[in-house]
Chains A and B, each alone.
Chain A
């Protein structure tokens, strides 16, 4: 190594190196994030106080209108209803994701890996194609209708596409793995002795799940919920492709302000409203996790 032959006193070299090293290691990444993340976000933030240009862009005249319009019942209703759709999707994802993650965590090691890869695999195909597959499945002559008529549940194809249920299905399909993975990580980390102790004390498996495993995995639950809820709120493809143009979510509203209405300031305001919801959720998550982390800490 070249180091010792430079003849510099090691101490000095290390102190100098540290300042230089900080620049070398942190400089490029940090610089990049400042230019391509912080500045764009700051621009979006600054757009919220300006007037719209007629054909997009902004006119640099300050106004508070954009924030006022956020509370226009029309837009407020859309935001609230998309929060509801996103919440419903998150809830269903949790209800079927938790037992799935639980079973995976208890599988033997080899099967565990396979089960996990199988959860992630659909994620490795194109997102749009995954959404589009549901059109084939749910449309009038599609598979689901055929199956239902086949078993005699209905006598002619019913309209399964283009309603809120379809949108929830599409969102669930897109983001379910994002719920299962953090849940799995949380359950897997638990000490199996806890479950055994609970069983030895006579608790049924269901009771062990409810009173031991569930409370201890609350941080994982919250992470999963944030991972599912946030992209649902910003999604505009699923409502468009599976909603038959009958529904609109916050993501569509933001996109439309940029693409159709060419009202960039209001679009920016809506985007920041979504970020605000995200920040509140993250704080909530951190706060609850810390509270539950305390319980786990005491256990150890």
Chain B
């Protein structure tokens, strides 16, 4: 190579290097300021009389988790446009919401521990309860979940527990313990699934061992890992999104499931909570600090908490809602629905016996590693 060629390349290299340094410098300063910011500090002054028709909302939610005509209903009632984005898992939602750039999302639907993580990062707007009068419809228990005591930054949309969902015609002895799914009978091979999201992947093993599902103890996690690896070597499959449909079609016989996703409308399918106990999860609504439509966001959450709106969730996707007024409405309108679907009848007191998954901060990487170890094991 000639020297001329080298010198010709120099300016380009210098520009590139300069740009990188400049970017690194500005990125650096911003990252320290983000770390230094106290969560839930500096509250925006919101105007309760703001003209909502001048605002519009972007929300992100699981597919099929809200009424299809929700945007039209909000438009009619509150006068602003709602655009619905879909995420398939909490992790997908977090990837978009937690990157520090303005994602364009105003209201996010994420599970409790993820809401907690977003808040610790200073990304959430503290709620203004005076703009959400319908908070009064919630069960008192709904403000006692450990990821957000007092609903400071999140409003629960649904809640429930994790258990075993199974087909009575394919599983000979009904499951009673988490061990029944960790160590299933040989004839169910290829028909048993557990969840892949790391904390719920670890749950059956930790609960079976009698440990907290929020443990960070290396020894307990190592024991749980052994159980999970044994289950995988037996032939466990992993599924977070389609286990309900598989069970319905008979492609699966026994799955680890969130109660609402267990298709109990099929008379051959039952849901049970193992005797070792389980969790209390909640999918919550949060308002992003980057939102420019915070008044509309509050109005939207308030609208969701309207019993007539919120009861849709229980009636159509069979998830319990932490909204007393809405659940009363369901009991009044559609008693047979409750009778047929046992999980819907769990009371708040029963639910509160479950342990809430909380964000573990730095230690959460232990669970990521655990999950990676399970998937890498052949």
Binds A, one of B158-166, B273-281, B362-370: B362-370
Give residues 1-55 of B contacting A (CB, 8 Å).
12, 15-17, 19-20, 23-24, 27-28, 31, 35
Q: Tell me the smallest distance from the CB of B282 to a CB of chain A, in Å.
A: 20
Tell whether A227 is near chain B: CB-to-CB under 8 Å: no
Tell whether B67 is near chain A: CB-to-CB under 8 Å: no
- Closest residue on chain B to residue A255 by CB atoms: B95
Q: List 6 A-B contacts (CB under 8 A).
A: A34-B15, A38-B16, A54-B121, A139-B251, A253-B372, A260-B198
- Closest residue on chain A to residue B95 by CB atoms: A259
Q: Evaluate contact between B12 and A60: CB separation under 8 angstroms.
A: no
- Closest residue on chain B to residue A45 by CB atoms: B20
Tell whether A77 is near chain B: CB-to-CB under 8 Å: yes
A interface residues (Cβ-Cβ under 8 A, vs B): 30, 34-35, 38-39, 42-43, 46, 53-60, 74-75, 77-78, 81, 139-141, 159, 162, 164, 244-248, 252-253, 256, 258-263
- Closest residue on chain B to residue A60 by CB atoms: B28
Complexed CA–CA distance, A261 and B91 (Å): 9
Q: Which residues of A contact B100 (CB under 8 A)?
A: 56-57
Q: Which residues of A contact B19 (CB under 8 A)?
A: 34-35, 39
Q: Which residues of B contact A139 (CB under 8 A)?
A: 251
From A39, A43, A263, B365 is in contact (CB under 8 Å) with A263
Q: Which residues of B contact A262 (CB under 8 A)?
A: 94, 98
Q: Which residues of B contact A253 (CB under 8 A)?
A: 372
Q: Evaluate contact between B16 and A57: CB separation under 8 angstroms.
A: no
Complexed CA–CA distance, A20 and B190 (Å): 67
Complexed CA–CA distance, A298 and B13 (Å): 40
Q: Evaluate contact between B91 and A260: CB separation under 8 angstroms.
A: yes
- Closest residue on chain B to residue A72 by CB atoms: B369
- Closest residue on chain B to residue A77 by CB atoms: B376
Q: Tell me the smallest distance from the CB of B69 to a CB of chain A, in Å.
A: 28
From B31, B94, B196, A245 is in contact (CB under 8 Å) with B196
From B95, B120, B239, B373, A244 is in contact (CB under 8 Å) with B239
Q: Evaluate contact between B375 and A46: CB separation under 8 angstroms.
A: no
From B23, B237, B378, A81 is in contact (CB under 8 Å) with B378
Give residues 350-375 of B contacting A (CB, 8 Å).
361-362, 365, 368-369, 371-373, 375
Q: Which residues of B contact A164 (CB under 8 A)?
A: 378
Q: A248-B376, A252-B375 are in contact. List 9 more A-B contacts (CB 8 A).
A: A54-B121, A54-B361, A57-B27, A58-B31, A244-B239, A245-B237, A245-B375, A246-B237, A260-B371
Q: Tell me the smallest distance from the CB of B227 to a CB of chain A, in Å.
A: 16
Q: Which residues of B contact A140 (CB under 8 A)?
A: 251
Q: Evaluate contact between A74 and B198: CB separation under 8 angstroms.
A: no
- Closest residue on chain B to residue A140 by CB atoms: B251
Q: Evaluate contact between B12 and A30: CB separation under 8 angstroms.
A: yes
Q: Which residues of B contact A248 (CB under 8 A)?
A: 372, 375-376
Instruction: In the A-B complex, list the 6 residue pairs whose CB atoms are closest, starting with the nearest.
Output: A245-B238, A248-B375, A261-B368, A159-B190, A55-B121, A259-B95
Q: Evaluate contact between A55 and B368: CB separation under 8 angstroms.
A: no
Q: Which residues of A contact B289 (CB under 8 A)?
A: none
Query: How many residues belonging to B are interface residues under a CB distance threshold of 8 Å?
Result: 43
- Closest residue on chain B to residue A261 by CB atoms: B368
Q: Which residues of B contact A35 (CB under 8 A)?
A: 19
Q: Tell me the smallest distance from the CB of A128 to a CB of chain B, in Å.
A: 13
Q: Which residues of B contact A38 (CB under 8 A)?
A: 16
Complexed CA–CA distance, A38 and B236 (Å): 43
Q: Evaluate contact between A53 and B16: CB separation under 8 angstroms.
A: no
Q: Tell me the smallest distance from the CB of A239 to a CB of chain B, in Å.
A: 9
From A59, A244, A263, B238 is in contact (CB under 8 Å) with A244
Q: Evaluate contact between B20 and A43: CB separation under 8 angstroms.
A: yes
Q: Which residues of A contact B92 (CB under 8 A)?
A: 259
Q: Evaluate contact between A247 and B375: CB separation under 8 angstroms.
A: yes
Q: Evaluate contact between B251 and A34: CB separation under 8 angstroms.
A: no
Q: Evaluate contact between A74 and B376: CB separation under 8 angstroms.
A: yes
Q: Evaluate contact between B372 and A60: CB separation under 8 angstroms.
A: no
- Closest residue on chain B to residue A244 by CB atoms: B237
Q: Which residues of A contact B17 (CB under 8 A)?
A: 42
Q: Which residues of B contact A245 (CB under 8 A)?
A: 196, 237-239, 375
Q: Evaluate contact between A55 and B98: CB separation under 8 angstroms.
A: yes
- Closest residue on chain B to residue A38 by CB atoms: B16
Q: Evaluate contact between A39 and B20: CB separation under 8 angstroms.
A: yes
Q: Tell me the smallest distance from the CB of A252 to a CB of chain B, in Å.
A: 8
Q: Tell me the smallest distance from the CB of B373 to a CB of chain A, in Å.
A: 6
B164-177, CB under 8 A of A: which get 1 and which 0?
Answer: 00000000000000
Q: Which residues of A contact B237 (CB under 8 A)?
A: 162, 244-246
Q: Which residues of A contact B299 (CB under 8 A)?
A: none
Residue in A60, A159, A246 whose Cβ sees the most chain B Cβ within 10 Å: A246
From B12, B362, B371, B375, A34 is in contact (CB under 8 Å) with B12
Tell whether B294 is near chain A: CB-to-CB under 8 Å: no
Tell whether B117 is near chain A: CB-to-CB under 8 Å: yes
From A39, A78, A258, A263, B16 is in contact (CB under 8 Å) with A39
Q: Evaluate contact between A56 and B98: CB separation under 8 angstroms.
A: yes
Q: Tell me the smallest distance from the CB of A149 to a CB of chain B, in Å.
A: 16
Tell whether B332 is near chain A: CB-to-CB under 8 Å: no
Complexed CA–CA distance, A38 and B13 (Å): 9
- Closest residue on chain A to residue B196 by CB atoms: A245
Q: Which residues of A contact B15 (CB under 8 A)?
A: 34
Tell whether B333 is near chain A: CB-to-CB under 8 Å: no
Complexed CA–CA distance, A20 and B238 (Å): 60
B68-96, CB under 8 A of A: which get 1 and which 0?
Answer: 00000000000000000000000110110
Tell whether B320 is near chain A: CB-to-CB under 8 Å: no
From B16, B232, B365, B369, A74 is in contact (CB under 8 Å) with B369
Q: Which residues of A contact B369 (CB under 8 A)?
A: 74
Q: Which residues of A contact B35 (CB under 8 A)?
A: 53, 59
- Closest residue on chain B to residue A78 by CB atoms: B376
Q: Evaluate contact between A59 and B31: CB separation under 8 angstroms.
A: yes
From B20, B95, B121, A258 is in contact (CB under 8 Å) with B95
Residue in A35, A57, A162, A252 whose Cβ sees the most chain B Cβ within 10 Å: A57
